Amino acid sequence: MNRFGPWLIAVMTLLGGCTQAPPNGHWHDLVTDYVESYLRHHPAFAAAQGRHEFDGQLPDWSEVGLRAEETRIERFRHRVEEFPINQLSLAERFEREHLLTRMDREIFWTRIAAAPFHNPAFYLGMSDGGDSLDPATYVVKPYAPVEQRARAMIAYARNVVRVAPDIRRNLAGPMPPTYIKLGVSGFRGLASFYRHDAPLAFAAVRDEALRAELSAALEPAAKALEAIAADLERRPSTTAFSEALGPEKFAAMLRMTERVDLPLSALEAALQADLDRNLAALDDACRHYAPHATTADCVEQMNAHKPTHGPVSAARQQLPALKRFIVDRDLVTIPGDEEALVEASPPYNQQNGAYIDPPGYFDRGVPAVYYLSPPDPSWTAEEQAAYIESDANLLFVSTHEVWPGHFLQFQWSNRTPSVIGGLWVGYAFAEGWGHYAEEMMWEAGLGDGDPETHIGQIFNALERNVRALCAIGLHVHHMTLAEAEQLFREKAFANPGEARQQAARGTYDPGYINYTLGKLMIRKMRDDYCSSRGGRACWKGFHDRLLAKGGPPLPLLRHELLPDDPGPVL
């Protein structure tokens, strides 16, 4: 089977044109075999997903180990492709396509993009899963008594010392300055965390011998991470962005990781049209909010209204009201009674302005944590002050991350019966849903038509619009970093620090196109699905069906919901 062939037509035929087969025990065995093999070879991911027999372990990140993992996944992919489709039920065929996509995602980033040998983000946490040096599983997730987590942290710290030389060798070549900055910040931030924050996190450990063992393990790990950062600081940097994927690899990224197979020109036109739509909406909102101001001054006025007691305190107050709004407007089923915590981001992961760390698929009773990051201390005082989210902006950040965004989505995915659907929620689905939720909540009446609230929603949308265009610009059209920063300043009204940060992210995370791409696919799916089912009245049913499958590729999910009218994804 050609990975780059007309896969969607084949899937449509298989899903829509065959009699449903009974559940197949051999298929279940193959899925279980792959999942267990994957977890063994990706133990940090396994532990984060709640499989704590893998606590404290890290993968083989040597070049030999990475190449062996590519081969392992290729062999499993062949087994999945060769499995007789006519023996599978419709649900199993759907799961099969999701699994193949996830395998292709691994193959793209490790083999085609060669991320382990070029991109520090590979070790610091790629945007849609995989292994990471992030120790949050042991530090902030209360899945076990603190003594048990301390022992896991000791093992983890010792394994950091083991893998650090491999990471240094893998990242030995010249890099773009943005990659070096990311690596230095991330690895040094982790070192600082091991030295200063981790001991505090385990202060409740009463066993003196265990505390001493933990202390003895943390410092060598911190030194090993510092050595990676120091290596990167000495690394010769390229004078321009030298890691652009180019049009063929960029298109392959979308096909292999998201099953989006569109001409880049058509995709770019759709992204530009959404930017234009949001800019027009912003102009209209500003006419009501600040009729005599320029659009830039209008946005600045909205951004000047900062949370009185800081964003963490404000977000904690926003979440109950957002949840009540979802229930009162009957927008989507809330499948559980879990709540998200809100905390400041740890120092090793402050390049993300906001993010959520949800419980894993196998976790039970573990809370999600919604993190908000302080500004970069190296920025000027003015830039740091501007970086803090405004009240209206933060409302939609909280919408995106918690209610009804990622937190609600992972409540659903962690309950899906398919282990493939629950373990692997794709980038476009996860970020597309979070971003879709922002505009959907405004459309449903959040803010009661208040123009300042609307500007906060549009402000978030514009940032994602520009991310998408910069992803294509930087990786396909030879856009410079300065041009990307300027686009964020002019079209997303970003402050200088935010514009720098967002433009830099586009170099090492070209997948951040998926925020807007995913949103547009979900909006198109909703409009097509609800057009004959009562319009607004069918939103809840659509949202529930959308979320029930976990995290499959959105084009595949579109056919599941619209088998007789699949239509274009955009």
Are both 28 and 105 inside the same structural domain? yes
Predicted pLDDT at 236: 82
Domain count, the chain: 3
Domain-located, residue 502 = yes
280: its two tokens: 């027009």
- Cα separations in angstroms, 118 against 243, 245, 300: 8, 12, 38
Q: Whole-prediction pTM value?
A: 0.92
Residues 7 and 287: their CA atoms lie apart, in Å, by: 47
Predicted pLDDT at 345: 84
Are both 397 and 475 inside the same structural domain? yes
Residues 405 and 391: their CA atoms lie apart, in Å, by: 18
Sign of the dihedral defined by the CA atoms of residues 426, 459, 505, 184, in that order: negative
Domain-located, residue 523 = yes
Are both 201 and 218 inside the same structural domain? yes
Phi and psi at residue 549, to the nearest 5°: -90, 0
One digit per residue, the tens of pLDDT, for the chain of length 570 reads 333 333 343 434 344 444 444 556 699 999 999 999 999 999 999 999 999 999 999 999 999 999 999 999 999 999 999 999 999 999 999 999 999 999 999 999 999 999 999 999 999 987 677 899 989 899 888 999 999 999 999 999 999 999 999 999 999 989 999 999 999 999 999 999 899 889 988 999 999 999 999 999 999 999 999 999 999 999 888 877 889 999 999 999 999 999 999 999 999 999 999 999 999 999 999 999 999 999 999 999 999 999 998 899 999 999 999 999 999 999 999 999 999 999 988 776 666 678 999 999 999 889 999 999 888 778 888 888 888 889 999 999 999 999 999 999 999 999 999 999 999 999 999 999 999 999 999 999 999 999 999 999 999 999 999 999 999 999 999 999 999 999 999 999 998 988 999 999 999 999 999 999 999 999 999 999 999 999 999 999 999 999 999 999 999 999 999 998 878 899
Are both 116 and 30 inside the same structural domain? yes
Are both 524 and 427 inside the same structural domain? yes
- Residue where a domain terminates, one of 210, 234, 258: 234
Are both 159 and 254 inside the same structural domain? no
Domain-located, residue 88 = yes
Are both 406 and 264 inside the same structural domain? yes
Predicted pLDDT at 11: 38
Domain-located, residue 488 = yes
* Structural domain range at position 34: 7-41+60-130
Predicted pLDDT at 269: 98
Are both 103 and 228 inside the same structural domain? no
Domain-located, residue 112 = yes
Domain-located, residue 346 = no
Predicted pLDDT at 4: 33
165: nearest Cα among 305, 279, 63: 63
Are both 89 and 113 inside the same structural domain? yes
Are both 114 and 181 inside the same structural domain? no
Are both 294 and 397 inside the same structural domain? yes
Q: Is the peptide bond before 22 cis (omega within 30 degrees of 0)?
A: no
Domain-located, residue 355 = no
Predicted pLDDT at 366: 92
Predicted pLDDT at 310: 87
Residues 519 and 59: their CA atoms lie apart, in Å, by: 33
Domain-located, residue 506 = yes
Q: Angle at CA 460, nearest 5°, toward 272 and 323?
A: 130
523: nearest Cα among 491, 553, 558: 558
Predicted pLDDT at 136: 87
- Residue where a domain terminates, one of 105, 130, 155: 130
Are both 540 and 404 inside the same structural domain? yes
One-letter-per-residue 3-state SS of 325-358: HHHHHCCCCCCCCCCEEEEECCHHHCCCCEEEEC
- Residue where a domain terminates, one of 199, 234, 269: 234
